[in-house]
Amino acid sequence: MKKLNDIITNVDNVPLTDIFKYTPMENETEITMVLNKMIDEFTNKKEFNKRRMVWVTTNDKPYTQESTKEAIWRIVDDFYYYGFFIEPFFLATKDRDFDFESFKEVFMNTNYLKKSQERALQQREEEEELIRPVGFSKDSVVFKKSIVGSQIRQSIFRIKEVRRMQFACNLILSDNGDVGGGLGCSVKAYTLYSHEKIKKNDLLLYTREETLKKVFSTADLTQNGKKIELSKDHKKSYIDKKEEAGIRKGYPIGGSDDDVVILNKEQLEFLTNYSFDHRLQEPTNDTTDPTTDDDNNELPILFSEAPYLKLIGFRDLSKFNPIYSCGAPTFLTADLDNGLGTSALKGGFSNSLATFGSLYRSCIKLQQYAIVIGCTRSNSRPFLYAMYPTQTTNSSKLIEGEEFPQGFLLIKMPWLEDVRSLPGEYIRHTKEGASSSSQTDPELVNHFKEILPKFELENYDPKEFPNPSLNFFYKVVKHEILQMDFGPSERTLSKNDETMKRLADLKMFVNSDDSVIDTLRKINLRMNEIERTMEKKRSSVDVSEKEKEKIIKKSKPVKEITEKEMLTAWKYETMIQFSMDQLRGFRKKYPQIQSASKKADLIENITKFLDSRVRKKPT
């Protein structure tokens, strides 16, 4: 699909006639050979996970003889029998419209159309208030209008758009309360941006023949070395077949395999599709019978079927803190199909667009954002979310020159348990700095005011920064396939990473500007002065009793290493047992030993010194 999309996008530079070169059909029986070949391909090759043939044609006279017509009819009927659906694209030419009569004779009695096509036709005819008979007649919409190139292009972009959709759910504004009633709307969430990843799937090939063949693997369920036979009924799902054979999913309790909870299909579906209810119980009239037993008066347990979002309240836009964002936001908009166009929902709210638009306009007018809770997918935990309206403060532009459409940014918020505290020492020193009279250094502020404008980036456009990992991966593949040299000069970061190119240009700019270098030198000098001053302040701060005990313990005299102990440790290579302070004390006795900041390096230097001393001693 991506390759087809690239071809259509580049059609102005490379016409389709240069890519799809073909010769006209000389004999009308050739069409039957092509259709039979497609059935063989679908039947013999397992790599086709969706066996569907797209029939693109401008020929509205596929046959002239009755025998050819019957042959095509039988083959199309075989397609339906095997479950290999045909999706036709009838293209009109510039000089005349497409004549559907020949294809009506072929397809009408074969039920060739896909279920998705049937639903699309049914929805279209319902909107036009037409009465549609059972099955497909010769007057169906598919045989009334031919397809042009712009429609194909639109279909491709629609598929690309659907793949960007993250989830669809109901946004519940009022949960059947006495005041609000059952108010809500169906919404969809779309991905704003995502990081492309390289799919490195293992491809197993058999290489001991003239041609490479793909290797497939299968798995069997066994018990005590014997294979468990599953039902071969194609109408049942794999889970139903396993449950029928006595295989169920178990969950160990307490970390032991002895205590296991066994769940069936219905219990698993309940756990994965429902979450605890967030509904507020409003006061109702007490209609319980006082004569009945109290144990039988149990309140019904309410559950919410995921996915769903429920409104909690609103806050001012100025109160929103972006540091609490947990992950990339998604764009939330109304579901124009009211929850009927997705498999994730069994149904939704009517007039979703009007309700969603009213909510958006109210948030814009009052300068507030909404707080919601819920599960966006089945078998997921509930989270808190902030619904931040677009085209407001901090959400006006995505790319320079392009504005967000009207809607909400759905931002995941943390729970209390998700927030981690900063180190106590950092917080204490921060409070001490805040209590001082001067919180900023005027000299540093002036230096940064001079230097920051020279490093300003005009705007950030993602189109100018391609992913270097993806580009390098496909660059290696390209050179390998075309057998091109891929020297070390082509593998440098500056040749493959746009950000490194920008940094190299910035470095050249800094090195060529004497004023920038002088300002950076002044900043470093001032930072060193501030660091020395802060160290003196910290050393003079009163410490607690526990910290005093730690200081006393650290200040205990270090036991010196004798020459006999060091020679024994050198002989048996056990100098690692000594502490860093002991090794430094031994080095002070012998200035010939080189100093080192790491323990391993210091042990190596002492070992070299002792080796040289032993060699110099006369035998």
Maximum pairwise Cα distance, the chain: 114
306 occurs within a structural domain: yes
Same domain, 270 and 396: yes
In 282-415, which residue ranges form alpha helices assigned H by DSSP? 352-366
> By the 8 A CB rule, do 248 and 263 touch?
yes
Count the helix, strand and coil residues of the chain and give each as a percent rounded to the nearest 5.
Answer: 45, 15, 40
Q: Whole-angstrom Cα distance, residue 498 to residue 468? A: 8
pLDDT for 555 equals 54
Distance CA 146, CA 58 (A): 10
Sequence-distant (≥ 6) Cβ neighbours of residue 141 within 8 angstroms: 121, 124, 125
* 214 within domain boundaries: no
Would residue 555 count as lying in a domain? no
46 token code pair: 């397992």
Rg (CA), the chain: 37
Nearby residues of 592 by Cβ (< 8 Å), 6 or more positions away:
609
DSSP 488: G
Looking at the domain assignment, is residue 498 inside a domain? yes
Task: Tell me, yes or no, whether 519 and 595 share the same domain.
Answer: no
**Separation between Cα atoms, residue 275 and residue 376, nearest integer Å:** 11
SS3 label, residue 550? helix
Comparing CA positions, the residue from 75, 70, 89 lying closest to residue 34 is: 75
Among the candidates 137, 162, 187, a domain finishes at 162
Q: Which domain-ending residue is among 117, 144, 162?
A: 162
From the list 320, 301, 302, 321, the residue with the least C-alpha distance to 310 is: 302
Mean pLDDT by 10 residues, the chain (619 residues): 69 75 75 87 75 82 85 83 78 76 71 45 46 42 50 51 75 71 86 76 82 82 86 80 85 77 80 62 48 49 74 92 88 88 80 92 93 86 91 66 79 88 75 59 87 78 82 85 84 85 84 87 87 66 54 62 83 82 84 84 86 65
Do 364 and 443 belong to one domain?
no
Domain membership of residue 267 (yes or no) is yes
Q: Which residues pair with 57 in a beta bridge?
A: 90
Parent domain of 491: 424-539
Q: Which residues, in sequence order, are CB contacts of 147 under 8 Å at separation 6+?
A: 89, 90, 91, 92
- The SS3 call for residue 560 is coil
Do 73 and 114 fall into the same domain?
yes
- What is the SS3 assignment for 86? strand
Residue 175: CB atoms within 10 Å: 20
Please check whether residues 517 and 567 belong to one and the same domain: no
Separation of alpha carbons 212 and 521, rounded Å: 64
**Are 242 and 367 contained in the same domain?**
yes
Q: Which two tokens stand for residue 105?
A: 């004779």
Query: Is 188:332 a contact under the CB 8 Å cutoff?
Result: yes
**68 and 170 co-located in one domain:** no
- Domain check: are 577 and 481 in the same one? no
User: How far is CA 181 from each of CA 177, 306, 313, rounded to the nearest angstrom?
Assistant: 5, 20, 16
At residue 363, the pLDDT reads 93
Write down the pLDDT at residue 268: 77
* Structural domain contains residue 219: no
Distance separating alpha carbons of residues 278 and 304, to the nearest angstrom: 8
Q: What's the domain count of the chain?
A: 4
**C-alpha 563: how far from chain center:** 63
Cβ atoms of 470 and 496 within 8 Å: the answer is no
Q: How far apart are the C-alpha atoms of 218 and 204, rounded to whole Å? A: 13
Residues 244 and 385 in one domain: yes
Q: Per the domain annotation, does 293 fall within a domain?
A: no
Of all helices (H) and strands (E), which one includes residue 384?
Answer: strand 383-389
275 and 318 assigned to the same domain: yes
CATH assignment of the domain containing 272: 2.40.290.10
Does residue 329 contact residue 405 with C-beta atoms inside 8 Å?
no
Domain shared by 156 and 170, yes or no: no
112 and 149, same domain (yes or no): yes
511 by DSSP, 3-state: which?
helix
Query: Dihedral of CA 389/391/393/396: which sign?
Result: positive
Instruction: State yes or no: cis peptide before 462, omega within 30 of 0.
Output: no
User: Does 111 fall in a domain?
Assistant: yes
Of 402, 420, 438, the domain-final residue: 420
State the SS3 of 249-318: EEEEECCEEEEEEEECHHHHHHHHHEEECCCCCCCCCCCCCCCCCHHHCCCCCCEEECCEEEEEEEEEHH
CA nearest neighbour of 370 among 325, 342, 411, 341:
411
- At residue 264, what are phi and psi to the nearest 5 degrees? -95, -175
